[in-house]
Structure 1
């Protein structure tokens, strides 16, 4: 007995489909066989009746009325094995038959009625006296253009029906054998599907309990193979994600501890007093610097949280990308000067490059990209910012000749919490946030890099569509909260 589950459903459905198909085939087959046998008998009798009719027309010019001797000779001449021949008058009364058995009642079956209308008649039914199933074929015997008599042949169908029954039983036996074979094959088929599913289910249950080291083993094909590979890949990604989170927690703990230690140390030192104004000023500057650093870390994590929860508010306005880049360069100029890095802006566009976007968020994008370029570039190097227009897109490229990124890390550098260099500081969220901000502007961000040669980041933002801009501004005005007076 197959227990409840997908295996039983497969076997049941497969069995039902084959059973219904076999039943239809056998019904059609038996109907065809019965029709073939019955038609063969009918055609044989009709051919014989036709010869009898032709003989009567051709050789009988005048006959004594109801001459039993003549009719008896004709019945014997055109006799059929296992078939009774009869001559009837127009009233259906039997004048003579091949068995010599005389009937008291006239025959009024449909074959006789059809023969009296100059057609060959056929009737299948049971004899009143014996209850035997018979086929009767009647043909008219015409004299001087009128139907005077009917020749009727009656044959039993019991032997044919018995043979048909044997064929039916044989066909049913073959059907049962086929169904048994189908059942065995369907059970095997169900097991070939259910066994891998049970294996995958068991592995997924272990994964649900936190065991990501287990793997789905087995060379499964088609969708099951894809499911197994997907589950194994999911486990690898969870392990990798957990490792990244652990690294992030370790990194962010370090990042938070360092400024907090500096703030606490100088706070306690300044509390003791006894310092000259210059030393006090240095301590306060360090406290302010470390406080800004903490604020930056917290804001980065808050931005990432908002982006993940789709809560980032965007104020869409008309933004000039050239102005954003110029402001960005001014903001990072001092930091670049400390490493003697030259910042260059190359304008390949003709006129203004206007996009619909949030100016502050776009500035955040380019600040993060340029800040990363400064962080990972050597002293006395350069960073080039290029702006151009390509295929109705405003394109900004940030290129440097810094340390570059390996091919392996380049594929993952935009993943959240991922850091190429854990000693470089930061949360590993900067590029992930940048990527999502660009996507919120319906743009794209692509990176290309070569280890030891430098990195180029290309950001593409759709150019401003005036009609779309008006629609966005109108929507923002409608969605803005109304202040109560």
Structure 2
């Protein structure tokens, strides 16, 4: 049994109420118009007989026909299945009528109606008389009938009950057929409209359990179709987020487990005396490096989370970009020295930019560390600054192994590594993701160009400071 608060029930009941109300309104208007049309038809019938009867009575009076002959000749016209016609006097006594023998009988017409007719009006009224529904039309005749100066023609329509019964029967039959037909159509329409909603409700239960394999099958461009597409898109995004969450936990666990395992192994070796005294300082240094690696991973992870959640703001200032890069090169000199790398910095001017100095240092450091990581021993790394309109272009180029074109879009993902199977490089794969997020905050894009065996170039632009632009214009 369906619940009353379901959308299907609400749609079905609402549509049914509208249709039933509309049909009832139609029936009411139709019945009212039928009522007016029926009475208008009676009045037209009365007028037709009235126009024929007055000359006929004058003719009878002219040729001095006896009353019985006139009554007999008129009785056939006065006695019809649907109505009777009477000629009465001011006292409502029959002069002529459908029954020739009923002369002087009083016709069932109200006194008030006779008085209105004698006042010169054509009067019509309907109502129940002795339990029978009738419609009466009466008017005076401009002719002397049997010595009566003001004869009255009365027409009584006595079959109204049958007329109304027929109409009511047809209305009820039509109403029932329409309701049954509309109900069946509404049932299927409501079911069709709510089918994707019920499917989405059922599928959402699977999504809540982490199963994103199902999607809503609804091919339409209406609002429900758009909702179904949005629902499917949401499922894909949730599935992607769930995959990233699992991958994130797996990567963090892996990246933390490796240094922790190394530190634990070194501590055990130190405690049980496996490592001789003269070698302890070396292993203490390894433990320090592993600890710093874990701290860097945690800091980068927290920094990446803040950037993605939008909790990190940037503070734009004007500063010397050329000086900043020189300072970073000196700071990273120990990393360059380990692999005997040749750092070549190319800049034709002292460039001042408008950016967040601290965040841009993170960007340049991460790009240089990435270049160091993928460069071979004794290889060069080029850093270039060049003016492009009102901005300066920064590019960092290494000459290492390069990246496949199919993987260029993936390098910005957290914990992504170009070749997990072969790489012996350190790092958790967060550097480029942090770079992309910081540059997004600066509303600038980073481009990458790479060829296998030739190296990779990362480049982006920063707006020049207004002071720099003015000073260069003066020069």
TM-score higher than 0.5? yes
Q: How far 1:308 moved relative to its partner? A: 5.4
1:279-318 matched pairs, under 5 angstroms: 296-307=296-307, 312=312, 314-318=314-318
Tell me, in whole angstroms, the C-alpha distance in 2 between the residues paired with 1:368 and 1:115. Answer: 114
Tell me, in whole angstroms, the C-alpha distance in 2 between the residues paired with 1:415 and 1:388. Answer: 30
Q: How far 1:98 moved relative to its partner? A: 2.7
**Change beyond 3 A, Cα 1:161–1:299:** closer
In the alignment, what sits opposite 1:360?
358
**Change beyond 3 A, Cα 1:243–1:225:** same
In the alignment, what sits opposite 1:345?
346
In the alignment, what sits opposite 2:127?
125
Q: How far 1:388 moved relative to its partner? A: 3.5
Q: CA RMSD of the aligned region, Å?
A: 4.7
Tell me, in whole angstroms, the C-alpha distance in 2 between the residues paired with 1:265 and 1:84. Answer: 129
Q: Which runs of 5+ in 2 are unaligned?
A: 220-224, 468-475
Task: Indicate if the aligned counterparts of 1:373 and 1:383 stay in contact, CA closer than 8 A.
Answer: no
In the alignment, what sits opposite 1:437?
438
SS at match of 1:411: helix
Per-residue deviation, residues 92-112 of structure 1 (Å, max 9, x unmatched): 845545345633776356798
Q: How far 1:28 moved relative to its partner? A: 0.8
In the alignment, what sits opposite 2:12?
14
In the alignment, what sits opposite 1:168?
171
In the alignment, what sits opposite 1:473?
none
Tell me, in whole angstroms, the C-alpha distance in 1 between the residues paired with 2:427 and 2:154. Answer: 110
Instruction: Between 304-313 and 233-242, report the one with greater CA deviation.
Output: 304-313
Tell me, in whole angstroms, the C-alpha distance in 2 between the residues paired with 1:300 and 1:308. Answer: 12
In the alignment, what sits opposite 2:188?
185
Tell me, in whole angstroms, the C-alpha distance in 1 between the residues paired with 2:244 and 2:200. Answer: 26
SS at match of 1:415: coil
**Change beyond 3 A, Cα 1:421–1:61:** same
In the alignment, what sits opposite 1:42?
40
Task: Indicate if the aligned counterparts of 1:245 and 1:417 stay in contact, CA closer than 8 A.
Answer: no
Per-residue deviation, residues 325-347 of structure 1 (Å, max 9, x unmatched): 44444444564464434434356
Tell me, in whole angstroms, the C-alpha distance in 1 between the residues paired with 2:466 and 2:288. Answer: 43
Q: How far 1:443 moved relative to its partner? A: 3.6
Q: How far 1:245 moved relative to its partner? A: 2.6
In the alignment, what sits opposite 2:417?
419
Tell me, in whole angstroms, the C-alpha distance in 2 between the residues paired with 1:248 and 1:122. Answer: 98
Tell me, in whole angstroms, the C-alpha distance in 2 between the residues paired with 1:189 and 1:81. Answer: 55
In the alignment, what sits opposite 1:241?
245
Tell me, in whole angstroms, the C-alpha distance in 2 between the residues paired with 1:111 and 1:450. Answer: 114
Task: Indicate if the aligned counterparts of 1:259 and 1:294 stay in contact, CA closer than 8 A.
Answer: no
**Change beyond 3 A, Cα 1:262–1:458:** farther
Q: How far 1:83 moved relative to its partner? A: 0.4
Tell me, in whole angstroms, the C-alpha distance in 1 between the residues paired with 2:380 and 2:56. Answer: 126
**Change beyond 3 A, Cα 1:175–1:225:** same
Q: How far 1:187 moved relative to its partner? A: 7.9
Tell me, in whole angstroms, the C-alpha distance in 2 between the residues paired with 1:455 and 1:231. Answer: 35
Tell me, in whole angstroms, the C-alpha distance in 1 between the residues paired with 2:302 and 2:369. Answer: 19
SS at match of 2:384: strand
**Change beyond 3 A, Cα 1:198–1:301:** closer
1:103 to 101, 106, 110: 106
Task: Indicate if the aligned counterparts of 1:255 and 1:426 stay in contact, CA closer than 8 A.
Answer: no
In the alignment, what sits opposite 1:252?
256
Task: Indicate if the aligned counterparts of 2:259 and 2:290 stay in contact, CA closer than 8 A.
Answer: no
**Change beyond 3 A, Cα 1:182–1:309:** closer
SS at match of 1:124: strand
Q: How far 1:242 moved relative to its partner? A: 0.9
Task: Indicate if the aligned counterparts of 1:11 and 1:190 stay in contact, CA closer than 8 A.
Answer: no
Task: Indicate if the aligned counterparts of 2:216 and 2:231 stay in contact, CA closer than 8 A.
Answer: no
SS at match of 1:424: coil
TM-score normalised according to structure 1 size: 0.71
Instruction: Between 457-466 and 244-253, report the one with greater CA deviation.
Output: 457-466
SS at match of 1:135: strand
1:12-411 matched pairs, under 5 angstroms: 12-29=10-27, 31-32=29-30, 35-36=33-34, 39-40=37-38, 42-43=40-41, 45-53=43-51, 56=54, 60=58, 72=71, 77=77, 80-87=80-87, 93=92, 95-96=94-95, 98-100=97-99, 102-103=105-106, 107-108=110-111, 113=116, 116-118=119-121, 121-127=123-129, 130-139=130-139, 141-142=141-142, 148=150, 150-156=152-158, 157-178=160-181, 181-182=184-185, 185=188, 189=192, 192-193=195-196, 196-197=199-200, 199-207=202-210, 212=211, 215-216=213-214, 219=217, 221=219, 222=225, 223-224=227-228, 227-228=231-232, 230-231=234-235, 234-235=238-239, 237-255=241-259, 296-307=296-307, 312=312, 314-332=314-332, 335-336=335-336, 338-346=339-347, 352-355=351-354, 357-378=355-376, 379-389=378-388, 395-411=393-409
Instruction: Between 334-343 and 109-118, report the one with greater CA deviation.
Output: 109-118
Tell me, in whole angstroms, the C-alpha distance in 1 between the residues paired with 2:463 and 2:111. Answer: 95
Q: Which runs of 5+ in 1 are unaligned?
A: 467-485
Task: Indicate if the aligned counterparts of 2:88 and 2:154 stay in contact, CA closer than 8 A.
Answer: yes
Per-residue deviation, residues 55-81 of structure 1 (Å, max 9, x unmatched): 6379849969xx977985667557654
SS at match of 1:396: strand
The count of residues paired between Structure 1 and Structure 2 equals 442
